[in-house]
Amino acid sequence: MSSTTPLANNPGYVLITGASSGIGAEIAREYSRRGRSLILTARRTDRLEALARELGVNAPCVVITSDLSQADAPRRLFAETQARGLHVDTLVNNAGYGVPGRYLSSDWRVHADFLQVMITAVGELTHLYLPAMEQAGRGRILNIASLAGLVPASAGHTMYGATKAWLIRFSECLALETAPRGVLVTALCPGFTYSEFHDVNGMREKISKMPKFLWLTSEQVARIGVDAVEAGKTRVITGAPNKLVAFLCKYLPDALARALVASKTKDFRDAE
């Protein structure tokens, strides 16, 4: 089955990467509430299956286990959905994590896997699923970026902000290319969000010291993101405090913005 299988006369599925927890799981719940059929993918099969049992009462919910740090994972995931006749008209590139510490505190293999998940897999999955969306004249691509991609860099988690900045620019370019063909693309830029993200990268203790008003729940972020892509917004920042931070970083002199970010991020970012 070719990558350009028409979607127009088939029920479209929402494919969500990194769907086993956090923002990804909440995006699945949000689309399920809207009656959409789902394809859930991540590394943890047990978590995916539990979520599928929860959401399967509303609409079809398919689980496909995949580790996007493996170079062939995007192609295998695409082949599996094609073989099952699951026509994807909405792609949510959500899978992601952080690598704490200095750049040289981790082996290159750790960074290479990180880049595979955060950039290469996103680009390849989009390249695989987009042709059918354009042929059908309808599609949605929601890329989960971060406020970190819009503010000056700081020490620690060296490539995280860089990959999110790439994702934002990729989404903006893609949106201009695909909108005339009926495909809407959105970069969602959350700030601090209650999820397992900070447990996975070992920063829970530090990050919990941040003021409560800066935080949103994963459910709030998911709803904002789904609403944004359905409305055709190219980029959306979650929460008034985060919008203010992005505004200040854009219009303050570069040196001052960098100094402010550096002074604040040392409170919650591991640079050792």
pLDDT at 203 exceeding the cut of 90: no
Which position among 13, 31, 129, 160 bears the catalytic label? 160
Return the beta strands (E) in the chain as ranges.
13-17, 37-41, 61-63, 88-93, 139-144, 183-189, 193-194, 216-217, 235-237
Residues ≥6 apart with Cβ < 8 Å to 149: 161, 163, 164, 165, 166, 167, 168, 189
Contact 164, 148 (CB under 8 A): yes
Instruction: For residue 51, give both structure tokens.
Output: 């979520």
- Spatial strand order of the sheet with 139-144 comes to 61-63, 37-41, 13-17, 88-93, 139-144, 183-189, 235-237
- Per-residue pLDDT averaged across 97-105, rounded? 94
Confidence class of residue 127 from pLDDT cuts 50, 70 and 90? very high
Residue 204 scores a pLDDT above 50: no
Task: For residue 239, report the phi and psi dihedrals to the nearest 5 degrees.
Answer: 85, 140
Checking phi first, is residue 182 left (phi over 0); if not, alpha (psi -120 to 50) or beta? left
In this prediction, residues 178-206 reach a mean pLDDT of 77
13 is a catalytic site residue: no
- 80 Cβ contact partners less than 8 Å away, ≥ 6 residues apart: 64
pTM of the model as a whole: 0.87
Average pLDDT over residues 54-67: 93
Give the pLDDT score at 2.
32
**What topology does CATH give the domain 13-265?**
Rossmann fold (3.40.50)
Please determine, for residue 3, whether its predicted confidence score (pLDDT) is greater than 50. Answer: no
The domain segmentation of the chain, as residue ranges, is 13-265
Higher pLDDT, 270 or 93: 93
pLDDT (average), residues 201-206: 51
